[in-house]
Chain A
């Protein structure tokens, strides 16, 4: 059983924002880097499927990311969780804005692995496209199911039964042919923490680095980023916590009386 997991290093904004001089992106100094939350769940699920599969230790979990050198950190985090191998597809800044381009960069190295399952997150928390996984499935010619909260699959079976979570929490129980690509939703599991020894070992592991094949035409391009207009915005309550609480209590009581 071989499972490939696509993982992204996401960028989170702190309390302040400044834009680059060309106005097309956020100044990198104002960003913090981390493993996309959904991808931590996807990696965990891959590890669990490997652990309970017939060939147990023989199974393999390979993590792949598209990004620059700094993205190696998320691969090491996944290795420390228990992934067997890691591949980084070299990409400069700007290449990550378009999910179709990212999917094209992933397609070659993922196909080369000939996986039984490919897992991605539902969405990346910074760009919220919820698109890369489904686009990649198409490029790989794989059936896919998006927004999965449960995976039942026995090694060697031609299908898997998965829960697809719809709006309002309704679950669509879906039978999917394997190999397949599934986009994994939070709540499916509780990602494990890596222990210090595993983190240390992961630091020494070799990461494969590959160049993406030519990407073709982008599906979109960002021409401007800006701070959202606040509209009327919230009336801000200032002061010490006691004063804030007093105002909240007053507003609530007036509304509910």
Chain B
């Protein structure tokens, strides 16, 4: 059986968690697992990827320390040409979004993104079937990738557990030809502004979403949160519109939270929101749409108007 190539993701000198999730998925898919690690000093990242399930680590030295689209694209294309893997696994992350689809388009590969389930089918396991979501997570789809050419698959972060346990992979080095010029160059990182609110340490979060239709209603929920001894948080659209400060954003591009209680009012449960709160101890969701995806992760749910419920809650705290 042909192998699986995993592309490690790293930021400022550490391997990101999603990499070890990709390794779990690769091992599950079967075939030898190779992990490509790119960086100015890839050997320094080795400990972060040398875990159970990895057969080989390919270290690719790059001129730049941080991620750049063109550099990753060139390296992964070279590895595909050299190794002809059955599948290449990337994270469905901001970095992955910058180069994965370009490789698939250029080389005519099978392609699927935001994938949370994988299987091999056919006599020799040559056909890969992916599971992904559509229509705001209200529908799932089985997507077949064509047999006979490699598939480039971008996996949803947190969909697989991270691989752990001692490794022992063979380590090789690869050079990927002349370092061509990179057309989109990393200059510097800009941190999110500091804030005195820390939603990650709160025990009880009252989190509001676009169901709160007007900016004028936000002070009401601030007061309700105070009354309930909760900390107010929110989904991205409220931060984008300037209704709440960015420190209060829950989700992939905001904060990851794990409070004792997460009470979500008028939040649909988009995958990027769920990524930031789905491991909360207890999730309660109120949404007027019985099909809302948030009910898929909630422990308790109510199909109701959030304002009606809020007005009743107010009396009980």
Contact = CB atoms under 8 A, between A and B. Distances in A.
A156 interface: no
B226 interface: no
Most chain B CB atoms below 10 A, which of A11, A122, A167, A249? A167
B282 A251 contact: yes
A176 interface: yes
B71 to A, nearest CB: 12
A131 B11 contact: no
A255 B296 contact: no
A17 interface: yes
B204 to A, nearest CB: 6
Interface stretch (A66-74, A85-93, A217-225): A217-225
A2 to B, nearest CB: 20
Interface stretch (B35-43, B168-176, B298-306): B298-306
B26 interface: no
Interface string A94-105: 000011100110
A248 to B, nearest CB: 6
Given A171-B190, A187-B240, A226-B139, 8 more contacts: A163-B190, A164-B98, A169-B249, A220-B111, A223-B144, A229-B140, A233-B295, A244-B286
Is the contact region of chain A dominated by helix, strand, or loop, or is it mixed? Answer: mixed
Contact of A255 (B67, B139, B281): B281
A104 B308 CA distance: 49
Contacts of B192: 168-171
Interface of B: 11, 66-67, 69-70, 92-95, 97-106, 108-114, 129-130, 132-146, 154, 183-192, 203-204, 228-229, 236-237, 239-241, 246, 249, 252-256, 260-261, 263, 271, 281-286, 289-291, 293, 295-296, 298-305, 308-309, 311-313, 315-317
A154 interface: no
Given A228-B139, A249-B313, A255 B260 contact: yes
A197 interface: no
Contact of B105 (A12, A138, A161, A231): A138
Contact of B143 (A165, A222, A235): A222
A169 B246 contact: yes
A139 B177 CA distance: 22
A230 B108 contact: no
A231 B154 CA distance: 24
A166 interface: yes
Contact of A17 (B138, B300, B313): B138
25 contacts: A127-B134, A128-B132, A128-B271, A130-B101, A135-B101, A135-B104, A139-B105, A147-B97, A167-B252, A171-B192, A173-B190, A177-B184, A219-B111, A220-B112, A226-B142, A227-B138, A227-B140, A231-B296, A234-B295, A236-B295, A236-B300, A238-B302, A245-B312, A252-B228, A252-B261
Contacts of B301: 234-237
A226 B317 CA distance: 41
B43 to A, nearest CB: 24
Q: Which are the 4 A-B pairs with shortest beta-carbon distances?
A: A143-B183, A245-B312, A234-B301, A241-B308
A134 B99 contact: yes
Contacts of A133: 101
Contacts of A230: 295-296
B127 to A, nearest CB: 11
Contacts of B135: 11-13, 26, 31, 126
Interface of A: 11-13, 15-17, 26, 31, 98-100, 103-104, 122, 125-139, 143-147, 161, 163-177, 180, 183, 186-187, 190, 216-231, 233-238, 241-242, 244-249, 251-252, 255-256
Contact of B184 (A144, A222, A235, A242): A144
Contacts of B246: 169
Contact of A129 (B113, B186, B236, B240): B113
Contacts of A167: 93-94, 252-253
Most chain B CB atoms below 10 A, which of A13, A218, A229, A230? A13
A201 B165 CA distance: 65
A144 B102 contact: yes
A166 B139 contact: no
B253 A138 contact: no
A175 B105 contact: no
B134 A131 contact: no
A16 B241 CA distance: 29
B184 to A, nearest CB: 4
Nearest to B204: A256
Most chain A CB atoms below 10 A, which of B134, B139, B142? B134
Given A12-B135, A165-B253, A175-B184, A228 B204 contact: no
B302 A236 contact: yes
